[in-house]
Amino acid sequence: MAEPRQNPAMQAIRPGRRGPVVEVEKPKDLKGTLKRLLRYLGKTKRSFIVLMIATLLITAANLLAPALQQKAIDALSGSLIKQMLLMLLFLGITYLFHPIFTYLQGIFSARLAQGVVRSMRKDLFARLVKLPIRYTDSHNHGDIMSRMTNDVENISNSISTSVASLCSAVLMVVGCFIIMVLYSPLLALVSTLTIGLTLLATTFITKFMRRFFVRQQRILGAVNGQVEEMVSGYRTVVAYNRQQKAVLHFNSTSDRLKKTAIFANIFGGCMGPVMNFINNVGFLLIAIVGGYLASLSPAHLLHISVGTIQAFLLYSKQFSRPINEIANQYAAIQTAIAGAERIFEVMDSQLEDQGGSHSMDPKAVKGKLSFRHVKFGYLPKKPVLKDFNLEVEAGQKIAIVGATGSGKTTIVNLLTRFYDIDGGDILIDDISIRDLPRADLRRSLAIVLQDTVLFSDTIANNISYGRPDATMEEIRAAAETSGADRFIRRLKDGYDTLLTEGGGNLSQGQRQLLNISRAILADPSILILDEATSSVDTRTEMRLQSAMLKLMEHRTSLVIAHRLSTIRDADKIIVIEDGRIVEEGSHETLLAQEGTYFRLYQSQFAGIAT
């Protein structure tokens, strides 16, 4: 199966400041990503500062301890037993402080990592709920999830291990460099050249490595996508005996992941040895140049003593060690950066804006609706609605009828601003919905969709989803109105029954009843029912009918249904065909016209149409 990313619809749809995200392979903005990561580090400034101080002191202790050891041994060789004991005392003190700072370092690097990851997850989720429906409709859900879990986890791991060692590395490098320059600027230059060479090699390897790491994360996303799709669509998979096929397909993606991961690892693994080799070349160079300088006449400006070379070599080794350490962690850091890029990609997607600023009290909405010359298409050149016009008076009950795919649900998508119209205007109480804050707009509506959505929470909380402050009495009343109360009471824990994700063992019809109860409780000015009762049996629906009628009283309602009985008493029935209204009027007038509605009606009456 082809990659969902190649979907032309998505190419056209995909918003985002950084242009289309399709070319994932292209090396991206490393500097920008790092900068943004640093900004997260900056948010936990205190931890960061404490960590720095602890690291500084540990580094100092690390430098001091060997010197003290040396002195103690020197004292020993001079048989100065007192001096030795004194040095041992100093050493002991240093050693006692050392663990304290190590402890602090451990705690604060964990705090730092967890703090960064927590605020990153938080930000990411805050964005996620604000992403337009268009985004979730067109992106693989498993892949989105993978960004929130795997990628964030990688960043956490790398920060907790790398930041402290990175800091001490920087301190060591700077310290050593200063000392080296003091010893001999010329040799320091040679040493620096080696570092330059190291950096060059790093950039070279990194270039390849990053490509693999980005690819690895992407395939990981694909693996997760497949897992998500197959596991959540498991019933269908089983119904079609497709388990084996699913396994085969999964295996091939898994193999792809394996191959890429191995390549990424190889590049990551050769980093250390390459650096080590370059360092040793540098070491040799210093020895040679140093040896030459030492052989110059002592009067020469560049002459250095043999002792200096010896000391210098020691420091140059100190100089390169932390850089090696960084190189060894490079793979982890790369994965983290690749992950960060993917996270920022989501964050950079165009969010749903707040909507207009025309304030409105959702409870005071009268419910007059006007669709004027509305044009819309999910894809640029495929209009779904073409010049759609509809006036609904406040309190009217409008039924929308039409063949499947004629654009009925699209009207819901537009009115709720899940999608924005391409042309024309939609008005509520004569105010364009574009001028209204999205939250106010949506609070004035309640929708019941064909695809029921239930959350893993109690039944009561699922019903009160739109109005978290509702009392238990109100919840029960809403369920009684919808008829859901009957089956809820038969459950062991009644309203406190915890629903497993997706609604578990409830039947589709029961799920719809819960969704209807939810809308009843929300008590909106405008009610939208999109095939809300398609899975409810007709007798239950009949019981529901009077409740629904009551529910629709005094509010504007849009009812999309294919059961004519549910819409017959609508004030106005509109018939849509190909994104246009072809007929509108009351049940009787439309029947008298003997048009599309008549045919639909006939087909039902006759039972089976041909």
Partner 1 sequence: MKLLKFLRPYWFWALLTPLSMIGEVIADLAQPKLMSRLVNEGVLAADQQLILSIGLRMLLIVFLGGLAGTSCSVFASLASQNFACDLRKEVFRSAMSLSFQQTDQFTTGSLITRLTNDITQMQHFVEQCLRMFVRSGMMFLGGIVMMLSLHSKFGLMLLGALPIQILLMGLILKKANPLYAKVQKRLDKLNNVMQENVNGARMVKAFVQEERETERFNQANEQLTETNLKVAYIVARLSPLLSIIMNLSVVALIYLGGLEVMAGKMQIGTIMAAITYNTQVLHSVMMVSMMFQSIARGRASAKRLTEVLNTTPAIEGGTLRADSLGEITFENVSFHYPGFEGREVLKNISLTIKKGENLAILGATGAGKSSFIHLITRFYDATEGRLLINGRPVAEYDLHSLRERVAVVLQKSELFSGSVADNIRWGNPDATDEQIIRAAKIAQAHEFISKMPEGYETMIAEKGASLSGGQKQRLSIARALVRKPELLILDDSTSALDLATEGKLRAAIQKEMEGTTLITIAQRIASVKECDRIAVLEDGGLAAIGDHETLLRESAVYRDIDQSQTKEGGIQNG
Site for partner 1 in 409-468 (CB under 8 A): 409, 416, 418, 438-439, 442-443, 445-447, 449-451, 453, 455-456, 465-466, 468
Would you count residue 347 as binding partner 1 (CB under 8 A)? Answer: no
Q: Structure tokens of 154? A: 């990688």
Choose, by CB under 8 A, the member of 240, 496, 498, 592 that binds partner 1.
Answer: 240
Q: For CA atoms 279, 283, 284, 290, give the dihedral sign.
A: positive
Q: Which of 528, 421, 441 is nearest to 134 (CA)?
A: 421
Report the nearest approach of partner 1 to the CB of residue 503 (Å).
10
Would you count residue 333 as binding partner 1 (CB under 8 A)? Answer: no
User: Strand order in 572-577's β-sheet?
Assistant: 445-448, 526-530, 556-560, 397-402, 572-577, 580-585
Q: Tokens 């690291």 identify what position? A: 55
Q: Helix, strand, or coil here: 379?
A: strand
Would you count residue 122 as binding partner 1 (CB under 8 A)? Answer: yes
Q: Structure tokens of 326? A: 């960084």
- 274-313 residues in contact with partner 1 (CB under 8 A) are 274, 276-277, 280-281, 283-284, 287-288, 290-292, 294-295, 306, 309-310, 313
Choose, by CB under 8 A, the member of 234, 361, 471, 549 that binds partner 1.
Answer: 234
Would you count residue 121 as binding partner 1 (CB under 8 A)? Answer: yes
Choose, by CB under 8 A, the member of 30, 34, 67, 133 that binds partner 1.
Answer: 133
Cβ proximity to partner 1, 31 vs 381, nearer residue? 381
Report the nearest approach of partner 1 to the CB of residue 605 (Å).
5
Cβ proximity to partner 1, 255 vs 553, nearer residue? 255
Query: Judging by DSSP bridges, how do beta strands 572-577 and 397-402 pair with one another?
Result: parallel
Q: Within 10 A of 171 (CB to CB), how many other CB atoms are there?
A: 19
Report the nearest approach of partner 1 to the CB of residue 583 (Å).
14
Report the nearest approach of partner 1 to the CB of residue 182 (Å).
19
Catalogue the long-range contacts made by 563-569 (C-beta closer than 8 Å, 24 or more residues apart). 563/533, 563/534, 563/538, 564/401, 564/600, 564/601, 564/604, 566/399, 566/533, 566/541, 567/399, 567/401, 569/397
Choose, by CB under 8 A, the member of 29, 405, 498, 549 that binds partner 1.
Answer: 405
Choose, by CB under 8 A, the member of 518, 556, 557, 559 that binds partner 1.
Answer: 518
Report the nearest approach of partner 1 to the CB of residue 29 (Å).
26
Would you count residue 508 as binding partner 1 (CB under 8 A)? Answer: yes
- 101-120 residues in contact with partner 1 (CB under 8 A) are 102-103, 106-107, 110-111, 113-115, 117-118
Buried b (16+ CB within 10 A) or exposed e, 560-578: bbeebebbeebebbbbbee
Choose, by CB under 8 A, the member of 236, 354, 389, 471 that binds partner 1.
Answer: 236
Would you count residue 607 as binding partner 1 (CB under 8 A)? Answer: yes
Would you say 574 and 584 are in contact if contact means Cβ atoms under 8 Å apart?
A: yes
- 361-380 residues in contact with partner 1 (CB under 8 A) are 378-379
Would you count residue 400 as binding partner 1 (CB under 8 A)? Answer: no
Q: Within 10 A of 87 (CB to CB), how many other CB atoms are there?
A: 21
Q: Which of 115, 109, 95, 114 is nearest to 168 (CA)?
A: 109
Q: Within 10 A of 310 (CB to CB), how many other CB atoms are there?
A: 10
